[in-house]
Structure 1
Amino acid sequence: MSKAKKILLFSLSGVLALGVVASGGSYWFVRNALAKTDGELILDVSKPVSVVRDDYGIPHIYASNERDLMFAQGYVHAQDRLWQMELARRSVSGTLAEVFGEALLPQDRFNRTIGFRRMADELIPKLDERTKEALQAYADGVNAFKETGSLPIEYTLTGAAFEPWQISDSIAIGKNMAWYLGDNAVTELFVSSSLKKLGFDKTQSLISEIRPIEGGAVSLKDGDARKLVDLIDASRRYGIPGEGIGSNNWVVAGSKSVTGKPLLANDMHLQLGAPSIFYQNHLSVSGQYSVTGVVFPGLPGVVAGHNEHIAWGFTNLNPDVQDLYMEKPNPNNPHQFEYAGRYEDAVVIEETFRVKGRAEPVRGETVITRHGPIITDIVKEIGLSEQFGHPLALRWTAYDTGYGNEITAWLTMNKAKNRDEFEQAMRLFAAPAQNIVYADDQGNIGWRANGRIPIRAKGDGMQPVPGWTSEYEWKSYIPWEELPHAWNPPEGYIATANNRIVDDKYPYFITNNWSESYRADRIHEMLREKARLTLQDMQRIQGDWKNLQAAQYRDIWLPILKRGSWNASQQQALRTLEEWMRDPVDAPDLVGPSIFHITLDKTMQKLFEPQLGSALYADFQKTGLTVNAVNELFAGKNKKWLEGTGSTVEQALLEGFEEALRLLEQQLGDKQEKWLWGANHKLTLEHPLGAIKPLNLMFNDGPYPYGGSSVTVGAASYSRKQWPYKIVVGAPWRFTADLSNLKASEEIMIMGASGQLGSAHYSDQTPMWLTGRYKTMYFDEADVAAHTKAKLVLRPR
């Protein structure tokens, strides 16, 4: 456990010592904070608004105009998810230390430097009136809840104060989502560290895509680089998605559907926690539009889902939209930096941080060059003495706030009736860059990559480049018309899963960091199995645990492992692995996945950690490049990586297999039938306060044995930091749409609609999620009425 977390837990434990939870008063706090879902409220709406709650507590909001609709959406988000929204805005605004103390001050400094709130403030004057009005109405609705309802129990536990919600809070949360889905800085820091430690030739043997950069290098001490990587990683927590990303989406034409109309499926792979990072809601404006799906709490509208005519879903394109620039400061003025033979003034922003436990605020500054904010000063400020050879400035496409914005984009998508209107909305979606699949009730299917992706004059985007010359500037962005796309292809389907989506003929660079194609290949394989597909087929694919990585390794691993000298127990385990690899499925009730995944993890550690060191190896695992690197070694490529080490791939695999069996025996005993994947691979849905005992018993849900892995379509990526493996990333929401009858579309979301402890809908969807079941997305007014469990009417003053 990190020092920061220990301090945070200790401070919260002090609250518990006061007896707030242990006393009988805890029940009153919990019950008093639950949302009012029946009856009437007099609020600032122009006409009555109905908020109907269905069997699962999901709100269906019916309004006469869009302003009242967004007001009501803000109100119900606050009813169900206010604490989640609070943590999210504190994270992006750099104000966590106000509540949790000194331990989170470095994180606040870093997030202020990145400037999520700064970007939001810059964007507000550029917003069109419709978006600005929607955001303001949403904020008004959040604030109206504070006037009529009780704050969630987490406010009492932490002593946090609620400040009025602002439209910049919502925009900043959206920008943090773009950060999470377009973060390349960690890869560049890793490459720089590896270059310093191992040199160019060795690093290139690990990452073949890198090229020499002239003009300087970044001098990185391991501790400094690791601390910066940790801060980047932590900037995506506290109610915002955490480590690891992915997603699947596909769309099937009517020619391959039993209904004769398209089918669409989407499951975005993000952090699994309590509450869910998504919020389900159905929004309807009388006579204008009706849309249902999910959104991130704190934001208006629907991000993914369907309306009366179209359906859409996302996967991350994972483009390289960030570059780190080495800057040369003026030795006589630290706020000036060299460019093209002269010194330019940087923008300097004075920052003030309030810290719990400190009488006086802490002051700092953010320095912004022509390329972006200097992100390395934070390392010196938090007490690490080694300085970078050059300060590093971050350039990022999201800093260009003049292009468009994602909130306007999805609010426009919500109303789109056809392909043309949808594409016009997509043009506004600057960051994050995504793969978006589309289907409509006219029979069209399509896929488009969106967003701003830079065209570099020089450089590969894999390592920091000189910022004092114009050689490495971005020339422009890939034109919208030339971004990858397809409409109504002859195959009758389109699928993406973060895999490489362009061939070598594509004229522009997108990224060197594609995901391996295991999930995409399996989706294509299953879509080809039947001539005509159903909605249930889409759901079967979403839950599939076939492991194509293990299938790929079968003919490589087994001959090597059979050459080992094994005792009877080890021979039994090898027979189990061999049998499983004939048809490898990462099911929780099988032993084979345990032997495979732990062997692979131990083998990778033996291949990479001796040369990289433990800290740098941990950073390497965060880059998304490890699978490709180990695949290259198993294929007999990149042999230079192991030169001079005295090790071989074969030796690493044999030792990895032996260590895996030893670990399984130590943890689960010598009866191999107990080495089930579900015993090694578990899901606990953790609340941000759930790491504190006894709060874990109140807020957390689980642990649950669960199948899948990072390479299966039914994704369940895990952290290797502890045993049993802790599942951290999967599909919080699974969505399937039938364009022949949109009201029959189905979904399931982990946890439930409410983030309020004590609500019947805190985790009522989890059992269905775990077992691969779905629920109907009630859309037709008659269906909603038939499943109404509560109705709240907001009336004008």
Structure 2
Amino acid sequence: MVDHDPSGPVAEAPAATPSSPSWPRWFRWTTGIGVLLVLALVAGLTTAVVVVRRSWPQTGGELSISALEGEVRVVRDDHGIPQIYADSTHDLMLAQGFVHAQDRFFEMDVRRHATAGRLSELFGDSGLETDLVVRTLGWRDVAEQELTMLRPATRSALDAYAEGVNAYLEGRSTSEMALEYTLLGLTGLDYQPESWSAVDSVAWLKAMAWDLRGNLEEEIGRAIAIATVGESRAADLYPAYPYDERAPIVEQGGVVGGVGGGDGRVFDQDASGPGGGALPRPPARDGGSTGTGTGTVAALARVRDVLAGVPALLGRGDGLGSNAWVVDGDHTDTGAPILANDPHLGISLPGVWTQVGLHCRTLSPECPYDVAGFSFSGVPGVVIGHNRDIAWGFTNLGPDVTDLYVERVTGDTWEYDGRQLPLTERTERIEVRDGDDVELTVRSTGHGPLLTDLARFADEDGIEITEDGLLDQVEGVAAAQEAGSTGGDAISLAWTALTPRPTVDALLALNRADDWTSFRQALSDFAVPGQNVVYADTEGHIGYQATGLVPVRGPANDGRLPAAGWRKDTDWTGSFVPYDALPSVLDPESGIIATANQAVIDPSRYPPYLTSDWDLGYRSDRINRLLAADDELSVAAMAAIQLDDRSAIGEALTPYLLDIDLPAGYYSDGQRLLRSWNYQEDAGSAAAAYFNVVWREVLERTFGDELPEVIRPDGGDRWFAVVSALLPRGKNGWWDDVRTDDKVERRSDILHDAMIAARDELTALESPSAREWTWGRLHELELRSSTLGESGIGIVERIFNRGGWEVGGGSSLVNATAWDARSGYQVVTAPSMRMIVPMDDLDAARWINLTGVSGHAFHPHYTDQTDLWARGETLPWVFSEDAVTDAADDVLLLKPEG
């Protein structure tokens, strides 16, 4: 563990190594600009301190804001977390916008440029690949349509929030907003942020939907796997969910009503089976999939390269998950429910969440908010948290809400149901800082925009979009296959998030909900991303509700592979699974509801198709076992479960490793560690360090000889299942290295060579002495700013990035600090926050953020929570006004002018 003083010197950023994560290629500046920045920054210590502190927020005293109707009190604790008190919804939301802008306006400004496809205006052509994707998908256009659909109260809250942001901007120079603007000014950027608007807030939800978009990567991966190793062997790599081994979230109920396809279909938690009103489920394969022929696979490779160019700021859509659970009073030490949540998202600095409390001094229909939790800077309200009556937590449901369609495009037409139809077109003009504007023509079929046009556009205009040579790899694979009837080489995307829906209504209604009925009603508008939502209330009830807009597909489209776009029977029908037919349960007999991205419900009980690409349930199974083992669970016990790092693959693979005959001495040192290993991956464990290096070697030696790099194992839950199924079959063909002509390898050969290689690697990376190995030294958390932290200039990166936290946990463990076996051992996704809420005493709740509330480098609250997070600690989360006042470290009064 490395402790960090955020006000002290910035630690040297580690040099990139082959095992480091592949960071986005954003914002690569010239050496000349780097020298200029260095000279400016070291011109004088006093000047540097002034420049750094100029943008820090005022958190005490008084400020006047003309748009306020009354006085607002902003109370911050010793970690800078604000609790806001006002007399009207308008003032409450205005103050939240002002406070968010104080703490994180640069982050907000970059996000709105990203979601509008306008990064190139700030960062030049290095932002162009992102802008091309976002403009093609039309996020901003969809957000503008959604704004017109919102309830008047929601729109008023968004407008008030925007007033607060703009009150912060008024009269401030960019150097008074963020250090980043000062440095960008040194590179010649002449810029003044435009006013914030309601659509800026709405658009950010598209980024979250993209980050949690479902099985798009699996569609591409399956197609490439089938083209590479054939359908039968590819099936080994995508195992089905084991319903008989790992319980889904909901184990009771079914869909009833609406017999004969009529309306009124609902999920009844007391139903004994699927019922006569069940929605149809497509067969597993019905000939509508066409994603494995030569031309199609090459086209999919182009699409994958385009998507890989989208930076982590907007989400990569893979490696993500979350834990959330709730237990009733029969399982707690107080007799009241306890709810816990820790969403697993990509790591960034600042983190995706910022904590806040929003309190109307007197609750009324005009001012109904008394809520606290985790919010998005740029969006009003609380996303995850609790109010005075209920608490809720989210995990990604992961419904299949994206489909790739292989299209037969001829000129400006596409084939559909035996006819040639015109493509729709629109033109997007992208302004590029220090460069010529770029004009993009977006063409769409009836399914969605053509993603392959982006690759062709980049080729024609000399824009580098391909990130890792995937196209060359897959074209070589595809050329070696027997040419099939692929039907087309254009790929379009259908995605529910491109259908305007009033999701923001749901967020604010959730903040106001006071019981199970109003909670469920609030979530009825929650369209994307589809979520599992757990619930508890102060009356002692617990519950679960699935949310999201889930398409009903035609009979020839099971969503698992790209579909034939010219066939009518592969279309989405235009209908969605009704909200009331999505699984939900109140007060289940077990008294436990645990969600960790596993299957929601057994399809034999619930025919409507949600997805077939669930997390395979290793985390959920472990959580359920730990919860069921204790009927006096406390807040502290819940926190311990969130930190559980028992390895399911460690438990499965280690007995086979112990049977391998290794040379005595040096090469058997690691094996001796495994003999007493308890399968826990804590940061100080030498055995965990050895096992994970062996695991990575096993994956590469088993699959690296046959699979293209893009679908090689990342080491997550799917690969736990794949390898666990192979282990009893010592002579299976996957063990054989096809690159060796004179030998057929078996399981024992692969494990032996992996253990030898792991010993040598740990000697090189850590120490010749096995007793000195630690998992945390390999498994470090590095927090990087997604903008200037990726500048390529060492001194600039050191200003904004922080690192060196040695942490435990790992991929598909409850303590899900995931790493990617294709690139190294560093953390790539992690619990973005942790919270625990006991419903009998809301002042006894606990919370922690991955980073601090501040987005200002060197500010005391930049990463002050990260040290605690890395040690597995949490902060007190007081809620009542008396407790908030007692914990106050600073108070700012916002007053109307005059």
- 1:17 aligns with one of 36, 57, 62: 36
- 1:609 aligns with one of 704, 711, 729: 704
Counterpart contact for 1:720–1:726, Cα < 8 Å: no
Cα 1:168–1:223 change in 2 (3 A) is same
Opposite residue 709 of structure 2, the aligned amino acid is S
Give the drift of 1:230: 4.3
- 1:667 aligns with one of 765, 775, 779: 765
- 2:55 aligns with one of 17, 33, 48: 33
SS state of the match for residue 324, structure 1? strand
Cα 1:656–1:496 change in 2 (3 A) is same
Give the drift of 1:6: 5.7
Question: Over residues 288-344 of structure 1, what are the superposed CA-to-partner deviations in whole Å (9 max), with x where a residue is unaligned?
Answer: 331000012111100000000000001111121110111122x3x42x222122222
Opposite residue 603 of structure 1, the aligned amino acid is V
- 2:599 aligns with one of 500, 517, 538: 500
- 1:361 aligns with one of 426, 430, 437: 437
Unpaired runs of 5+ in structure 1?
none
Report the equivalent of 1:322: 402
Question: Over residues 31-60 of structure 1, what are the superposed CA-to-partner deviations in whole Å (9 max), with x where a residue is unaligned?
Answer: 110011122222211222222212211111
Counterpart contact for 2:347–2:783, Cα < 8 Å: yes
Give the drift of 1:148: 4.6
Report the equivalent of 1:158: 184
After the TM superposition, which of the residue ranges 749-758 and 381-390 deviates more from structure 2?
381-390
Question: Over residues 262-297 of structure 1, what are the superposed CA-to-partner deviations in whole Å (9 max), with x where a residue is unaligned?
Answer: 111001111223212100000012323310000121
SS state of the match for residue 607, structure 2? coil
Q: Is residue 232 from structure 1 mapped to residue 232 from structure 2 by the alignment?
A: no
Cα 1:203–1:6 change in 2 (3 A) is closer
Give the drift of 1:364: 0.9
SS state of the match for residue 312, structure 2? coil
Question: Using the alignment, how far apart are the partners of 2:405 and 2:823 within structure 1?
Answer: 35
Q: TM-score scaled to structure 1, two decimals?
A: 0.93
Give the drift of 1:631: 2.9
Q: Is residue 472 from structure 1 mapped to residue 561 from structure 2 by the alignment?
A: no
Give the drift of 1:761: 1.3
- 1:594 aligns with one of 669, 682, 689: 689
Report the equivalent of 1:289: 369
Give the drift of 1:513: 1.8
Give the drift of 1:574: 0.8
Q: Is residue 76 from structure 1 mapped to residue 176 from structure 2 by the alignment?
A: no
Give the drift of 1:188: 1.5
Residues 625-640 of structure 1 mapped to structure 2, 5 A cutoff: 625-636=718-729, 639=732
- 1:426 aligns with one of 509, 523, 544: 523
Report the equivalent of 2:3: none
SS state of the match for residue 828, structure 2? strand
Give the drift of 1:474: 2.1
Question: Over residues 329-376 of structure 1, what are the superposed CA-to-partner deviations in whole Å (9 max), with x where a residue is unaligned?
Answer: 2x3x42x22212222233211011112221x31111111221111111
Question: Using the alignment, how far apart are the partners of 2:395 and 2:709 within structure 1?
Answer: 32
Report the equivalent of 2:73: 50
Question: Over residues 555-595 of structure 1, what are the superposed CA-to-partner deviations in whole Å (9 max), with x where a residue is unaligned?
Answer: 44433x2xx34242122211111221xx2110111111111
Question: Using the alignment, how far apart are the partners of 1:490 and 1:69 within structure 2?
Answer: 40
- 2:450 aligns with one of 350, 359, 374: 374
Counterpart contact for 2:730–2:746, Cα < 8 Å: no
- 2:871 aligns with one of 771, 778, 791: 771
Residues 676-687 of structure 1 mapped to structure 2, 5 A cutoff: 676-687=774-785
Give the drift of 1:4: 9.6
Question: Using the alignment, how far apart are the partners of 1:291 and 1:22 within structure 2?
Answer: 45
SS state of the match for residue 714, structure 1? coil
- 2:843 aligns with one of 736, 739, 743: 743
Question: Using the alignment, how far apart are the partners of 2:708 and 2:457 within structure 1?
Answer: 25
Counterpart contact for 1:241–1:270, Cα < 8 Å: no
Question: Over residues 390-431 of structure 1, what are the superposed CA-to-partner deviations in whole Å (9 max), with x where a residue is unaligned?
Answer: 211111122221xx4332111001011100000001111111
Cα 1:212–1:104 change in 2 (3 A) is farther
Give the drift of 1:718: 1.5
Cα 1:547–1:641 change in 2 (3 A) is closer
After the TM superposition, which of the residue ranges 772-781 and 240-249 deviates more from structure 2?
240-249
Opposite residue 791 of structure 1, the aligned amino acid is V
Question: Using the alignment, how far apart are the partners of 1:136 and 1:243 within structure 2?
Answer: 34
Q: Is residue 311 from structure 1 mapped to residue 311 from structure 2 by the alignment?
A: no
SS state of the match for residue 516, structure 1? coil
Counterpart contact for 2:333–2:633, Cα < 8 Å: yes
Counterpart contact for 1:206–1:641, Cα < 8 Å: no
Counterpart contact for 2:717–2:812, Cα < 8 Å: no
Question: Using the alignment, how far apart are the partners of 1:3 and 1:203 within structure 2?
Answer: 26
Give the drift of 1:12: 8.5
Report the equivalent of 1:759: 859
Q: Is residue 147 from structure 1 mapped to residue 135 from structure 2 by the alignment?
A: no
Residues 669-748 of structure 1 mapped to structure 2, 5 A cutoff: 669-688=767-786, 689-691=788-790, 692-720=793-821, 722-723=823-824, 725-748=825-848
Residues 323-362 of structure 1 mapped to structure 2, 5 A cutoff: 323-329=403-409, 331=410, 333-334=411-412, 336-358=413-435, 360-362=436-438
Opposite residue 373 of structure 1, the aligned amino acid is P
SS state of the match for residue 260, structure 1? coil
Cα 1:242–1:765 change in 2 (3 A) is farther
Report the equivalent of 1:188: 219
Cα 1:405–1:236 change in 2 (3 A) is farther
After the TM superposition, which of the residue ranges 176-185 and 187-196 deviates more from structure 2?
187-196
Question: Using the alignment, how far apart are the partners of 1:406 and 1:638 within structure 2?
Answer: 52
Give the drift of 1:3: 11
The alignment-based identity, stated in percent, is 32
Question: Over residues 185-235 of structure 1, what are the superposed CA-to-partner deviations in whole Å (9 max), with x where a residue is unaligned?
Answer: 222222222333333333234336674745755545988655532442443
Unpaired runs of 5+ in structure 2?
1-15, 241-283, 460-465, 476-485, 739-743
Question: Using the alignment, how far apart are the partners of 1:208 and 1:548 within structure 2?
Answer: 16
Counterpart contact for 2:714–2:820, Cα < 8 Å: no
- Aligned-pair Cα RMSD in Å: 2.6
Cα 1:58–1:274 change in 2 (3 A) is same
- 2:553 aligns with one of 447, 456, 459: 456
- 1:100 aligns with one of 123, 134, 144: 123
Counterpart contact for 1:205–1:640, Cα < 8 Å: no
Cα 1:461–1:7 change in 2 (3 A) is closer
Opposite residue 628 of structure 1, the aligned amino acid is A
Question: Using the alignment, how far apart are the partners of 2:384 and 2:31 within structure 1?
Answer: 36
Report the equivalent of 2:156: 133
Opposite residue 8 of structure 1, the aligned amino acid is F
Q: Is residue 414 from structure 1 mapped to residue 511 from structure 2 by the alignment?
A: yes
Cα 1:312–1:762 change in 2 (3 A) is same
Question: Over residues 145-184 of structure 1, what are the superposed CA-to-partner deviations in whole Å (9 max), with x where a residue is unaligned?
Answer: 1115422011122245322222222111101101111242
Residues 552-591 of structure 1 mapped to structure 2, 5 A cutoff: 552-559=652-659, 561=660, 564-580=661-677, 583-591=678-686
Cα 1:135–1:197 change in 2 (3 A) is same
After the TM superposition, which of the residue ranges 471-480 and 236-245 deviates more from structure 2?
236-245
Question: Using the alignment, how far apart are the partners of 1:636 and 1:486 within structure 2?
Answer: 41
Question: Using the alignment, how far apart are the partners of 1:91 and 1:14 within structure 2?
Answer: 24
Question: Over residues 19-39 of structure 1, what are the superposed CA-to-partner deviations in whole Å (9 max), with x where a residue is unaligned?
Answer: 332333332221110011122
Opposite residue 438 of structure 2, the aligned amino acid is V
Report the equivalent of 2:746: 648
